[in-house]
């Protein structure tokens, strides 16, 4: 029996619009804190909570939530694929990702979006990252990568390289996005992580989309990280190294910090993807643009103390 008993009944909040994040586990989620700050900024009357869902119970819990008046759900691991399969209507980016993390029900139809990749792009823009004609390295080939590729392509980089320990998985990602790559005139390539030593072009942006940091590991050896940094130095590029894991200095970040690279963790992505969801649910006036910077700074200070 799990000790995570987070549940939300929208009927208990008759004067508020009720939203929640659903997952397993869910106790660690910062989504309620983030969305509450957005609601305060825009003077919206909402309640945002957490829902712990047992494996195998996702569809039933979602049905009950919306039947009782719930307005929208953020979906986190391990239910993003189930949310995708539940939806009749999908945004292009949700379809491309094969996963849904923003779920609504409109006129009896489940509608799904994926805000992860857009959240990443927004955070990178906050870090003054320039995408146009850039050379991007994405490490990993899982669901996080699939949610990231299309939003990056829409910024028209010159080249995206998908590197994974198993080459075949990287090739499957490339095959999935070949048509989009052609449409956006972006070169997309698969490579094994080991073969990155053969790369002779510097990257403007390196993104670790693996979960290795959660296990205090890095997908790269120290020598390989040094090779990538040397390429940047040779071409005098200010490469930005991005780690999707947030709230800790992972071995991946430690490697590049030690080599003097500009680095950034995934806290900003967390806040920005939440902003995308909030904006899709609630009509935010142009003069009420969400202040994601203040929310992000507050979270960073909280984790540092």
Which tens digits make up the pLDDT trace of 10-33? 999 999 999 999 999 999 899 999
Of 99, 138, 128, 104, the residue nearest 115 (C-alpha):
99
Alpha helices in 127-166 (DSSP H): 143-153
84, burial (CB in 10 Å: exposed 0-12, middle 13-18, buried 19+): buried
Q: Is the pLDDT of residue 249 over 80?
A: yes
pLDDT at site 305: 65
pLDDT at site 4: 64
The contacts of residue 78 (CB under 8 Å, 6+ apart) are 23, 24, 55
Kindly report the average pLDDT of the chain as a whole number. 94
Q: Supply φ then ψ for residue 87, to 5 degrees.
A: -85, 140
Q: How far apart are the first and last CA of the chain?
A: 33
Residue 202: other Cβ atoms inside 10 A: 18
Is 302 considered catalytic here? no
Kindly list the structural domains of the chain, giving each domain's residue range(s) and its CATH number in brackets, ordered by start.
Answer: 10-114 (3.40.50.10860), 118-267 (3.40.50.720)
pLDDT at site 32: 96
> Is the distance from CB of 5 to CB of 267 less than 8 angstroms?
no
Which position among 45, 59, 80, 302 bears the catalytic label? 80
Q: Is the pLDDT of residue 131 over 80?
A: yes
Three-class SS state of 107? coil
The contacts of residue 63 (CB under 8 Å, 6+ apart) are none
pLDDT at site 283: 75
Torsion sign, CA atoms 189, 190, 192, 193: positive
pLDDT band at 282 (very low <50, low <70, confident <90, very high): confident
pLDDT at site 287: 63
- Mean pLDDT, residues 271-290: 86
Q: Rounded to an integer, what distance in angstroms lies between the CA atom of residue 117 and that of residue 94? A: 10
Q: Rounded to an integer, what distance in angstroms lies between the CA atom of residue 228 and that of residue 172? A: 24
208-236 residue pLDDT tens: 999 998 889 999 999 999 999 999 999 99
72-87 residue pLDDT tens: 999 998 999 999 999 9
């Amino acid at each position: 029996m799990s000790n995570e008993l987070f549940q939300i009944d929208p009927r208990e909040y008759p004067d508020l619009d009720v939203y929640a994040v659903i997952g397993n586990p869910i106790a660690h989620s910062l989504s309620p804190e983030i969305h509450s700050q957005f609601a305060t900024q825009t003077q919206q009357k909402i309640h945002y909570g957490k829902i712990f869902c047992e494996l195998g119970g996702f569809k039933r819990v979602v049905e009950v939530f919306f039947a009782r008046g719930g307005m929208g759900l953020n979906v986190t691991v391990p239910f993003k694929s189930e949310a995708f399969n539940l939806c009749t209507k999908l945004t292009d980016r949700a379809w491309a990702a094969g996963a849904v993390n923003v779920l609504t029900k409109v006129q009896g139809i489940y509608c799904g979006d994926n805000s992860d990749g857009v959240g990443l792009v927004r955070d990178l823009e906050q870090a003054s990252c320039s995408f146009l004609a850039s050379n991007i390295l994405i490490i990993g080939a899982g669901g996080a990568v699939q949610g990231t590729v299309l939003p990056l392509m829409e910024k028209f980089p010159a080249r995206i390289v998908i590197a994974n320990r198993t080459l075949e998985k990287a090739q499957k990602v490339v095959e999935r996005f070949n048509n989009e790559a052609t449409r956006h005139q972006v070169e997309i390539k698969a490579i094994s992580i080991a073969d990155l030593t053969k790369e002779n072009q510097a990257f403007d942006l390196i993104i670790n989309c693996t979960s290795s940091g959660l296990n205090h590991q890095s997908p790269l050896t120290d020598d390989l990280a040094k090779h990538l940094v040397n390429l940047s130095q040779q071409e005098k590029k200010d490469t930005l190294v991005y780690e999707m894991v947030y709230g800790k200095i992972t071995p991946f970040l430690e490697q590049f910090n030690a080599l003097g690279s500009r680095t950034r963790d995934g806290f900003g992505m967390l806040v920005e993807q939440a902003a995308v969801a909030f904006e899709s649910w609630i009509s935010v006036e142009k003069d009420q643009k969400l202040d994601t910077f203040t929310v992000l700074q507050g979270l960073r200070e909280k984790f540092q103390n």
